Structures are given as structure tokens and as C-alpha cells.
Structure 1
Amino acid sequence: MKYRIFLIIPYLTLCICLSSAQQLKTEIDSVKKPQTIWQMAKYDTRHTLKSVGHAFTKPLHWKGKDFAKLGILLGGTAALSLADEPIRDFVQNQKSDLPGVVRDFGWYFGSPQNYFMVNAGLYGFGLFTKNEKIRKTSVLIISSSITTGLIQTITKNAIGRARPNHRDDPYVFSSFANDSGFRSFPSGHTVLSITMAHSIAKQFENPWVKAGIYTVGAIPPISRLIDDAHWFTDVAFSAALSIIIVDAIDKFLFEENVYDYPIKRKMVSWNLRFSTNQIGFVGTF
């Protein structure tokens, strides 16, 4: 119970912050907008399902540059795996320096039951207060979480990568093994925490607020490395996947005029970089 309270209090505070931080919005046809709580719930559910469907069908319309980005992501992940063992050794040497409460937060926040409980509270607050910004944020979180969750579940079992605490070699695989020790790639905790952090950070323009949100979101991935449950490339790929999915669904909701967005739409821009001396994501705020 103490961990649930530990999780709920910051996000109830976030609800209040989001409620008071609403900005000037664009005008959208009032007939299209639901008015009652029941209408809003149906509206949000419908567009959550549409967002998930859009995310899974989008690859059917990819062009050359989209496949190139996918190749960069996969190639960059493969190249980065060369650093998995040195990074693991470094992290394990710092294990005793990380406070237990931080590791506990990382585990409990990244667990699906706690994660969806927090988002249910966030959405419930937005629904019953008829706060569109919070409803939009929650729909973005849940639709992105469903998408990334399904992708990581299928990929995790199909690839069957051994966890570092199960095998010392980062290149041991056993597809569809009936053993949780072979479900390292990608990281489910990372997928959920980065999905929520990125979805919430997009609602703010202040770079310091964004940095604080991303810092909290980074705790579960770091704690999973400390617990020796994942290799570094597991969490790196998962973070990239989450950012890509959240941005794609947010763009879809914007283009479909589902919710009000600020007149001057400012977004965090993330670009893949892969060269002889640079691998990763570069964010522009």
C-alpha cells in the first residue's frame, strides 16, 4: 500500500498542475465535442482504439525514408550492443550507491498494474472535471501504451534474448522459450515509463519541467539495469520505440482534430543520429 500511495500522490499533484496550466486553444466545431461525461468517455474510447489502429497500420504507408529510419534504429541498436558488457560492469559497480527507494520506485512504477492504476486515476480526474487537456494526455498515454505493449510482448517472446542475470553473454537467444530468463529484449518497464513520461512532457513548454518529467521517467530503466534484469540495448531500444509511437499517435490526434491543441503547437522533436562517432536520439525542445 505504501508504494501505491508513493505513486498516486505525485500524479494527483500532476493532475492539478495540468488543470491549472491549460493554454489558449484553437476553435473546433462545438457540435463535434461531447458534452456529458458518458459522451466524453465514449468519444475518448473510440479515439483510443482509432489511435492504436493507426499506429499498427501506418507501416503500410511507409516510404523510403521511413524504412531508412527503421534501419538506422535496428543497426544502431546492434552496434550499441558491443557496449552492453562494459556498461553492465560499470552499472553493477555503482549498485550500492543507488538508494533502495529509487530502485523500488522504478520497479513498482514500471509494473503494469501500478502503471495503469495511475493512468486510470489521471483519466478519471480529467473526465469528471471535464478537463480536455488531461483527457487528451491520458488517451495519448493509454493508446501509446497498448501499442508499445503489444509490440514489446510479441518481440520479447520472438527474440528470446537472455537476461544478464540469466546468462553473462549478451548474444544468447532462445525464441519462444518457456523461461522468463529469455525475455530481456525489449524492456517492458522502460516501454511503459518512457511512454508516460514523454506523453506528459509534451504537454509542457518549460524545458525545466520537461527535464524533471523525463528524469522521473528514466528511473525505471536505470533501476532495471541496476537489478541486472536488462542489457543497456534493451532499455535504449525500448525508449526509442516509446518516443516514436507517442509522437506518431500525438500527430494523428492533432491532424484528426480530436482534441484542442495550442494555437502555436510546440513539440519535442526527436531525431535518430547514427554515424561513426554518434549513435542515438537527439531531442530538440
Structure 2
Amino acid sequence: MVFTENKIISLFLILLFLGLDLKAQTPKNNDSVPSTWELLKYDGVSAFGGLKKTYSQPLKWQKDDFLTAGAVVAGTAVLYIFDDEANEWFRNQEDDIPMFIQDFGWYYGSPQNNYAVNGAVYLYGLFTRNEKVRRTGVLMISAATTAGIIQSILKTAVGRARPKEGLGKGDFKPFSNEPNYHSFPSGHTILSFTTAYALSKQFKNPFVKAGIIGIGLIPPASRLWEGAHWLTDVGLSMALSILVVDSIDNYLTKERDYGQKEDSGISWKFNVGLGRIGVTGTF
């Protein structure tokens, strides 16, 4: 079976809408019902506000936030030790991976397809006036944009060589315009995992969450199979996705009026202590 770009996006959207709670939420007082244009403006401000909130958040960091940042840096440093071995192992698996999974990894992590999915989710929520789906769409779009801008800047500034070029994990050419030196971080990983993680937070069932997260891990794995990124590129990108989504999710809950949010998401916490570094997910 040949999976085309449109088939992959369509299948993902069908599964998505079947899984989300699609029961429309209509205010009791019809006189106070906002127009579609008013909702669109409000959501646009919310999405941009989430972006600003995330970028300004480091200025307000507390002790725990610095510990989290330190854990991410330390974790990336540990992965760096195994970059060569991980690259060799993943490259050896490529021939055994079914082609439709490889195709999905590429298409789902591509910016145009990722934003098509995010946009479809938001527009469905907007025109059906489903507040839960609408808020999910705002979160997905805002998080993908926020994390995407960060990775675009870092990719050029860091200038790390891709493994498939035969260069070492320590080869860098900062501010290079050559695509072969745009390995760190992984754009496919950031977009796909940001979308998957944001979506997973909307469900209570741990098996559904795990399934969504699993789908979001396919593009990162595909980039490792292809030798497009090192393990550290993918690891840092996933950590960045989690931090961005959680920041914007908290902003939408505390500072924007999208109703009472249920505690339906998975919560990630970085743990740092004497002799230990880890991350814990709470369902």
C-alpha cells in the first residue's frame, strides 16, 4: 500500500476527530454568543500571548526552573557520549523499517503537513464552536510556532554537521547556510512531538496518551534512521517541546478564558539530585 502525503494527513485527522470529545459547547445565553470573527480574534491573541509568555518566562525563573534547565543540559551531555553508537545502531535498522512508517515519519514532521493538521483541528473547533477542540488547536498552533522559531534560530546558530555527511558529532560550522550543517536541533522532532504532546494532554486514558505519544515519536526515529540527526539533536528537541507546550498550556489555563480545564494531561517533571537525573511522567 502506497501512502501519499494526502492519505497520511487525512488518516491522522480522522483518527484525531474520532478520539476528541466532539460534543459542541454552546453558551446558555444566546445573546452573549460571540461571533466566529470575535472567537478568531480572541484565539489569535491567545496564540500570540502564549508565544510571548514562553519567550519571557526565563526572566521569571525560580530555583526549580533553573534545576530543570540544568537537567536538560546534563541529559543532553549524557546523550552526547553515545551519539556515535546510537547513530550506527539506528542507521542499521533503516532497511528493516516498513516504508509506510518511514513515509509517515517524513510527512508528519514536515512543517506544511504539521500546520495543516494543527490548522484543521483549530478550524473544526472554531466553526463547530467546540471549545475543547478550539482550545486544543490554539495550543497546538501556538506551541508549534514558538518551538519552531527557536529551532530555526538554533539550527543556524549552532551549525552542527549531520551524521550522514560522514563528519563527526563534534563538527560545527556556526551560522552556515549549508543544510548539511543544520542538524541541531531536529525540526521534524520538534514539530511532531509538540503536536503529539499537546494533543495527548487532552485525554485522560493513559493508553490513548501513550498511543498519541508513540505516533509523535515516529518522525524523530525516522530522522535517526536516515542519519539526518544525532541522538542529542532529537533528545533536546523533545525536551524543548515538553517545556514549550506546558508553558503555553498553563498560560491558556490561567490567563485566558477557555473555561475550567480538567486535569486530563500528562505532567512531566525533571528530577535532579545527588547522583541522579531523570524525567517523570504523571498520568
User: TM-score, normalised on structure 2?
Assistant: 0.91
Question: Partners in 2 of 1:120 and 1:79 — Cα distance?
Answer: 37
1:140-188 CA distance string (max 9 Å, x none): 0111111101111111111111110123311111101121111111000
Letter in 2 for 1:94: Q
Question: Partners in 1 of 2:275 and 2:230 — Cα distance?
Answer: 21
Which residue in the other structure is 1:155 paired with? Answer: 154
- Within-5 A mapping of 1:150-229: 150-229=149-228
Letter in 2 for 1:160: G
Unaligned runs of 5+ in 2: none
Question: Partners in 2 of 1:15 and 1:37 — Cα distance?
Answer: 20
Distance 1:72 1:17, change over 3 A: closer
Question: Partners in 1 of 2:95 and 2:139 — Cα distance?
Answer: 37
Letter in 2 for 1:5: K
Distance 1:189 1:30, change over 3 A: farther
1:210-257 CA distance string (max 9 Å, x none): 011011100000000001100011001000100111011101111114
Which residue in the other structure is 2:270 paired with? Answer: 272
Distance 1:149 1:44, change over 3 A: same
Question: Partners in 1 of 2:81 and 2:139 — Cα distance?
Answer: 34
**Contact conserved, 1:269 with 1:284, CA < 8 A, in 2?**
yes
1:28-76 CA distance string (max 9 Å, x none): 9989x86221111111111111111111111111123212221221122
Which residue in the other structure is 1:108 paired with? Answer: 107
Letter in 2 for 1:3: E
Unaligned runs of 5+ in 1: none
Which residue in the other structure is 2:12 paired with? Answer: 10
Per mean C-alpha deviation after superposition, the further-off stretch among 159-168 and 227-236 is: 159-168
% identical aligned pairs: 41
Question: Partners in 2 of 1:146 and 1:120 — Cα distance?
Answer: 12
CA RMSD of aligned residues (A): 2.3
Question: Partners in 2 of 1:11 and 1:128 — Cα distance?
Answer: 16
Which residue in the other structure is 1:145 paired with? Answer: 144
Per mean C-alpha deviation after superposition, the further-off stretch among 76-85 and 221-230 is: 76-85
Question: Partners in 1 of 2:28 and 2:198 — Cα distance?
Answer: 25
**Contact conserved, 1:76 with 1:274, CA < 8 A, in 2?**
no
Letter in 1 for 2:49: K
